[in-house]
Amino acid sequence: MKRWSNWVLLLLVALLAVLPLILVKDSEFGGADGAAEEAIKEVAPDYEPWFQPLVEPPGGETESLLFAVQAALGAGFIGYAIGLYRGRLNNGKEQ
């Protein structure tokens, strides 16, 4: 039962991350990328970017959501690794 509850919680977290991408349209949020682009245009108006995005998100807020999800996944991975190695260390000392 515990194994299924973990998968259900993981699915709910994924839904919380994806549903705003689908439901919220035309959201606007000025981030660091937008500010940097404006600063570059002021300094060098003829500058053209080297790359274009492969997928354009529906709104600016979407980029913030994706960044937050990426940070949460990274923190979860690091926390899992630390817990795993600490558990292995503790199990080795008990024997």
Is the pTM of the predicted complex or chain greater than 0.75? Answer: no
Residues 6+ apart with CB under 8 A from 65: 17, 20, 21
The pLDDT tens digits for 34-54 are 788 888 989 998 988 888 878
Cα–Cα distance for residue pair 14/45, rounded to 1 Å: 40
In the predicted structure, residue 21 carries a pLDDT above the cut 90:
no
**Residue 73: which pLDDT band, with cuts at 50, 70 and 90?**
very high
